[in-house]
Amino acid sequence: MADTLEIIDLHARIEEREILKGLSLTIRKGEVHAIMGPNGSGKSTLANAIMGNPKYEVTGGKILMKGEDILEMEVDERARKGLFLAFQYPCEVPGVRQANFLRLAVNARFGRELDVMEFYAKLEDKMKFLDINEAFMKRYLNEGFSGGEKKRNEILQMMMLEPEFAVMDETDSGLDIDALKVVSEGVNKLRGPDLGILIITHYERILRYIQPDFIHILVDGKIVKSGGRDLAAHLEEHGYDWITKDTVKA
Amino acid sequence: MNAPAWLEKQRDVARQTFDRLPLPTRRDVDWQRFDIRKLKLDKVAEPALTEKLSASPGNGVIFCDMATAIAKHSDIVKEYLGKGISPDEPNKFNALHVSRLNTGAFLYVPRDVKLTVPLEILYTLTGASGFPHTLVVIEPGAEATLVQKFTGGPTGDMSIHASGTEVFVKEGGHLHYISYQNFNPNVYDFTLKRAHVARDAEIDWVIGMFGASFQRYDIECVMEGEGGNSFMYGVGFAEHNQQFGQFTKQHHKVGNTTSDLLFKNVLRDSAVTNYSGTIKVEKNANGTNAYQSNKNLVLSDKVKCDTKPILEIESNQLRCTHGATVGRLEEQHLYYLRARGLPEEQAREVLLEAFLDPVLARIQVEDVYKEFSSLIHQKVIRK
C-alpha cells in the first residue's frame, strides 16, 4: 500500500465524452508497466487524469498513491508528493528560463532551498548523461526546441525531481532512433526499487529499449488484456485488430 | 542665474504655446481613455527636482546637469536644444516643461569616442512639480550607454512631472538608452522622448513604466539617414487605478532605415492602458523596414486595455508589419508549471515575470536588468 500507485475503477471524461470506463491498475515501486492501445482508446486521458489536468473530469473511481487519494489533491500537490508526468506535448513557455524553472521545481519538490552549487552540480551531471548542451539552460523553457529536445528535457526534469511514480505519455512519439535511445537510457538509469513507472505508448518500439515487467492493452477505456513482454511482440505482429476482435468475441 | 537670451526666447515661445493650447479632455481622441480631472495646471508649484549624475568619464565627454551645461557649454547646447523637441509643438505638457526649463542633464560624446561604462542620471521629484530636460548628442562614430531613472514624488498631494529627452545620434553613432519611471502614486507624468537617427546610426531603447497615477509617454524615433536603426522596447506594469498612455511613433523620413518596436504591458486591478503606435513612412522613404508589436496581459475583468496601430504610409516599397494582442495567462502553461510542483500562486508569478522577460532581456547592463527585475518582482508579489 505504501509503495503503490493504485488506479481503481477509474472513469473520466473530457468535454462530456466519457473516455475511461472503469480502468484498474496497480503499480508497485520497482515495476515498469506499459499500457498500449490504439488511437482513441484513452491513453492520454489516463495520463492527464492521473496528473490532474483540469480539462479532464474524473467521474468515478479512485487513484491512491501510497494509500492517499490523489484525486483530492491539486496538481502541484501531487507533483510535490512524488508524482511525475512526462508530457506527450511539453508546452513552450517563453520567458521562463530553463535553469530558473528547474531550480524552482526542485525546491518545491524537496521542500527546501537547494544549495546553488549542489543544484548546478546535479544538473550538470544529468545534462551530461542526456547529452544536453550547456547553452540549453539559458534558453526559455522548451521554446524553439525540436521534438527530441523537448522529450529529453522531460527526462531531465524527471531525473532532477526524483519522482516515486512516473507516467510517461507517449514519450516515444516523434523521436528518431538516436533520441529514443538517449531518452530510454535516462529512464533505465532511473529505474530501481524507489520508482514505479507507467509507460503509455502506441508503438512497441520503445519497449525494445525499456523492458517492461507488465504490459496492458487498453481498448475503449478499459484494460482488456494484461501479460508479460511477449504480449508486445504479439501486438506488433498482429496489430490491435487481433485484440479488439478477441474482446468482442469474449 | 539669468538664462541666455536664446534660451529665454525658447521659454517665451513655450509659454505662449502653453497659454494657447487647452487642457486635453476626454473629447480629444488621444485622451478618451483617461481621467485627468484631478490635474490642475492653473497654479503649478515651484519646481522641486534633483538630478544626480554618475561621474563623467573624461575623454572630451560632457556629462553634467543642465544648469552647468547652459552656463559652461552654451555654444554646443544652443546648437541642439529645441531642435529635436520644439517649444511650440502642439503639446501642452511639453510647452509647460520647456517654459520652465532649467533642470535636467546634458550628455555630449565626441566623435569616435566609445564609452563602455554606462552613464546614469537619477531624477528625484522632491516637491509638487518637476520639469527636467535631457539633451543627448552622440557625435559620428561615438557610442554610449545612458541609463535614466525617474523616481520620487511627495506622498499625499497630486504632483506633476513633465519632461523631455531630446536625442541626436549622428552618422554611425550608437546610443543604448535605458529609462524607467517608478514615481510614487499621485504623480502625473507627461514625458516626450524623441531621437533623431542619422545615417548608419543606431539607437536601442528599453523603457520601463511602473509608477505614477497617470503617465503619458510619447516616444519617437525619427529616421533621417539611410542605414539607421531604432530598436524600441517597452515594458509596463499598471495596477490599482494607474493609467498609462503610450504613444509611439516610428517616423521614417528616408528609406533603407529600420525601426522595430515591442511594447508589453501587464494590467491588474482597475488599471488603464492605452497603446497607440504610429508608423509614418514618407513618400520617398523606399526600402523602409518598420515593425511594431504590442502585447498585453490582462489579470482582471476591470482593467481597460486599448491598443491601436496607426499607419501613415506614403512609400510603396517597404516592409511593414504590426500586431497587437490582449490576453490572459495560458492555462496550459499554468498546468505545466504546476505539474512540476510549483504552487498555483508561484506559477502565476513566474508566468507574469516570464511575459515581460523578453523585453528585460534586451537590457545589456547587468545591474539595471536586476533593478528592472526587482521592480517587476515587487509588483508581481505586491510587496
Closest alpha carbon to B306 in B243, B350, B367, B372: B243
| Residue B1 confidence (pLDDT) | 54
The helix/strand/coil state of A49 is helix
pTM: 0.91
Do B94 and B199 sit in the same domain of this protein?
Answer: yes
Do B190 and B218 sit in the same domain of this protein?
Answer: yes
Chain A residue numbers touching B381 (CB-CB < 8 A): none
Do residues A48 and A42 lie in contact, with contact meaning Cβ atoms separated by under 8 Å? no
Tell me the CA distances in angstroms from B175 to A173, B197, B198, one per residue in order. Answer: 48, 10, 12
pLDDT digits (tens, 9 = 90+) for B1-20: 578 999 999 999 999 999 99
Interface A-B: count of C-beta contacts within 8 A: 74
pLDDT digits (tens, 9 = 90+) for A185-199: 989 999 999 999 999
| Residue A239 confidence (pLDDT) | 79
Chain A residue numbers touching B354 (CB-CB < 8 A): 93-96, 140
Q: Which of B295, B335, B344, B376 to mutate to test the interface with A (most CBs of A within 10 A)?
A: B335
pLDDT digits (tens, 9 = 90+) for A83-119: 999 999 999 999 999 999 999 999 999 999 989 999 9
In angstroms, the CA B24 to CA B36 distance is 9
Which residue of chain A has the CA closest to B346? A104
Strand arrangement of the beta sheet that strand A68-69 belongs to: A17-28, A4-14, A56-65, A68-69
Give the strand pairing for B187-197 and B159-169: parallel
The yes-or-no verdict on residue A12 having pLDDT over 80 is yes
In angstroms, the CA A197 to CA A223 distance is 17
Candidates B335, B340, B350; nearest CB to A157: B340
Closest alpha carbon to B91 in B196, B245, B261, B312: B245
In angstroms, the CA A24 to CA A6 distance is 8
Do B375 and B360 sit in the same domain of this protein?
Answer: yes
Q: Where are the alpha helices (DSSP H) in A6-146?
A: 43-51, 75-80, 98-110, 116-129
Do B226 and B345 sit in the same domain of this protein?
Answer: no
Give the domains, in start order, of chain A with CATH numbers.
4-237 (3.40.50.300)
Chain B residue numbers touching A76 (CB-CB < 8 A): 338-339, 341-344, 347
| Residue A18 confidence (pLDDT) | 92
pLDDT digits (tens, 9 = 90+) for A120-155: 999 999 999 998 888 888 899 999 998 889 999 999
- Check CB contact of A89 with chain B, cutoff 8 Å: no
- Distance from the Cα of B34 to chain A's closest Cα (Å) equals 31
| Residue B383 confidence (pLDDT) | 63
Do B320 and B336 sit in the same domain of this protein?
Answer: no
Task: Give the other-Cβ count within 10 Å of A24's Cβ.
Answer: 13
- Distance from the Cα of B359 to chain A's closest Cα (Å) equals 9
Q: Which of A50, A74, A85, A96 to mutate to test the interface with B (most CBs of B within 10 A)?
A: A96
Q: Which of B333, B336, B369 to mutate to test the interface with A (most CBs of A within 10 A)?
A: B336
ipTM of this predicted structure = 0.94
Candidates B338, B340, B358; nearest CB to A94: B358
pLDDT digits (tens, 9 = 90+) for B220-257: 999 999 999 999 999 999 999 999 999 999 999 999 99
B304 burial level (CB within 10 Å; 0-12, 13-18, 19+): middle
Candidates A55, A75, A94; nearest CB to B354: A94
Q: Which of A76, A112, A156, A161 to mutate to test the interface with B (most CBs of B within 10 A)?
A: A76
- Distance from the Cα of A135 to chain B's closest Cα (Å) equals 16
Percent of chain A with pLDDT over 70: 97
Chain B residue numbers touching A54 (CB-CB < 8 A): 331, 335
**What is the average pLDDT across B288-293?**
98
pLDDT digits (tens, 9 = 90+) for A16-58: 889 999 999 999 999 999 999 988 899 999 999 999 999 999 9
Cβ <8 Å between B339 and A79: yes
**What is the average pLDDT across B347-372?**
96
Cβ <8 Å between A75 and B353: no
Tell me the CA distances in angstroms from B207 to A87, B231, B252, one per residue in order. Answer: 38, 11, 21
Candidates B342, B353, B358; nearest CB to A76: B342
Do residues B184 and B155 lie in contact, with contact meaning Cβ atoms separated by under 8 Å? yes
Task: Give the domain-ending residue among B328, B346, B366.
Answer: B328
Which residue of chain B has the CA closest to A86? B339
pLDDT digits (tens, 9 = 90+) for A49-82: 999 999 999 999 999 999 999 999 999 999 999 9
Candidates B335, B346, B350; nearest CB to A53: B335
- In the structure grid, which three cell numbers stand for residue A9, read together? 475503477
In angstroms, the CA B206 to CA A155 distance is 37
Mean pLDDT of chain B: 95
- In the structure grid, which three cell numbers stand for residue B160, read together? 506633476
Task: Give the domain-ending residue among B312, B328, B344.
Answer: B328
Do B280 and B353 sit in the same domain of this protein?
Answer: no
In angstroms, the CA A71 to CA A68 distance is 9
The helix/strand/coil state of A218 is strand
- Distance from the Cα of B353 to chain A's closest Cα (Å) equals 7
Do residues B105 and B70 lie in contact, with contact meaning Cβ atoms separated by under 8 Å? no
Do B262 and B345 sit in the same domain of this protein?
Answer: no
Candidates A79, A87, A93; nearest CB to B341: A79
The yes-or-no verdict on residue A179 having pLDDT over 90 is no
The yes-or-no verdict on residue A250 having pLDDT over 50 is no
| DSSP secondary structure code for residue B43 in this structure | S
- In the structure grid, which three cell numbers stand for residue B374, read together? 526587482
Do B302 and B187 sit in the same domain of this protein?
Answer: yes
Cβ <8 Å between B353 and A95: yes
Chain A residue numbers touching B356 (CB-CB < 8 A): 95
| DSSP secondary structure code for residue A136 in this structure | G
Candidates A53, A80, A104; nearest CB to B350: A104
B303 contact partners, CB below 8 Å, separation of at least 6: B238, B267, B268, B269, B270, B271, B272, B273
Chain A residue numbers touching B336 (CB-CB < 8 A): 87, 90-91, 93
| DSSP secondary structure code for residue B164 in this structure | E
Contact residues, chain B to chain A, C-beta under 8 Å: 330-333, 335-344, 346-347, 350-351, 353-358
Task: Give the other-Cβ count within 10 Å of A250's Cβ.
Answer: 7
| Residue A183 confidence (pLDDT) | 86
Cβ <8 Å between A51 and B331: no
The yes-or-no verdict on residue B340 having pLDDT over 80 is yes
| Residue A247 confidence (pLDDT) | 56
Closest alpha carbon to A7 in A70, A82, A79, A99: A70
- In the structure grid, which three cell numbers stand for residue B199, read together? 545615417
Do B180 and B124 sit in the same domain of this protein?
Answer: yes
Q: Where are the alpha helices (DSSP H) in chain A?
A: 43-51, 75-80, 98-110, 116-129, 147-161, 177-190, 230-249
Closest alpha carbon to B168 in B181, B177, B159: B177
Do B316 and B336 sit in the same domain of this protein?
Answer: no
Do residues A184 and A205 lie in contact, with contact meaning Cβ atoms separated by under 8 Å? no
Chain B residue numbers touching A91 (CB-CB < 8 A): 330, 332-333, 336
| Residue B44 confidence (pLDDT) | 83
Candidates B330, B343, B355; nearest CB to A76: B343
Would you state the torsion angle of the CA atoms of residues B331, B332, B338, B339, taken in this order, to the nearest 10 degrees? 150
- Distance from the Cα of A92 to chain B's closest Cα (Å) equals 8
Give bridge partners of residue B207 from the DSSP assignment: B179, B234
**What is the average pLDDT across B196-210?**
98
- Check CB contact of A109 with chain B, cutoff 8 Å: yes
| Residue B37 confidence (pLDDT) | 85
Give bridge partners of residue A65 from the DSSP assignment: A5, A68
| Residue A175 confidence (pLDDT) | 86
Residue B350 domain boundaries: 329-383
Domains held by chain B: number: 2
Give the strand pairing for A222-227 and A214-219: antiparallel
Do B343 and B311 sit in the same domain of this protein?
Answer: no
Do B311 and B358 sit in the same domain of this protein?
Answer: no
| Residue A249 confidence (pLDDT) | 45
